[in-house]
C-alpha cells in the first residue's frame, strides 16, 4: 500500500495526515475505513491534511466526497488542509470545491472548528 495515514487528536479534532497516494485499491479502502472508524467512535470533527499526498486519482476524489457526505450525515464537520495544486485544480475542474471546506494549512483549519 502506498498510503500512510497518521491519526492524532488536536483540540478535539481528529487529524488525519495522509502521506503517499490516495488511489484506487487498498489506499482508498484504508482511508474510507479510517473515516468510518472515527465516526463510529463518535469523533465527528475530522481534518484531513493532504500536505504529503503526492497523487489523488478519481477514486481518491470520490473517497473524499464520500467522507464529507458521511460526516455531514452524522452531524459532523469535515475539512481539508494543505492541498496540492493539482488536487485543488481537480476539485475545481469537477466543480467539487463547494463540497469542501478547504484551508491553506492545518492551523487555519483547526481554528475554524467549533
Per-residue pLDDT of the chain (114 residues; tens, 9 = 90+): 799 999 999 999 999 999 999 999 999 999 999 999 999 999 999 999 999 998 999 999 999 999 999 999 999 999 999 999 989 998 999 899 999 999 999 999 999 998
CATH fold of 3-110, please? Answer: Transcription Regulator spoIIAA (3.30.750)
Query: pTM for the complete prediction?
Result: 0.95
Number of Cβ within a 10 Å radius of residue 22? 27
Domain boundaries, the chain: 3-110
Q: Are 39 and 13 in contact (CB under 8 A)?
A: no
Q: What are the C-alpha distances in Å from 37 to residues 67, 83, 89, 93, 97?
A: 11, 23, 29, 30, 25
List CB contacts of 109: < 8 A, sequence separation 6 or more.
47, 79, 80, 81, 101, 103
Amino acid at each position: 500500500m502506498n498510503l500512510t495515514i497518521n491519526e492524532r487528536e488536536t483540540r478535539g479534532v481528529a487529524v488525519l495526515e495522509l502521506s503517499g497516494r490516495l488511489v484506487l485499491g487498498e489506499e482508498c479502502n484504508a482511508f474510507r475505513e479510517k473515516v468510518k472508524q472515527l465516526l463510529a467512535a463518535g469523533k465527528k470533527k475530522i481534518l484531513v491534511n493532504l500536505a504529503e499526498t503526492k497523487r489523488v486519482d478519481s477514486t481518491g476524489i470520490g473517497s473524499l466526497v464520500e467522507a464529507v457526505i458521511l460526516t455531514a450525515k452524522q452531524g459532523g464537520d469535515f475539512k481539508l488542509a494543505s492541498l496540492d495544486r493539482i488536487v485543488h485544480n481537480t476539485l475545481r475542474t469537477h466543480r467539487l470545491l463547494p463540497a469542501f471546506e478547504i484551508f491553506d494549512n492545518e492551523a487555519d483549519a483547526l481554528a475554524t472548528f467549533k
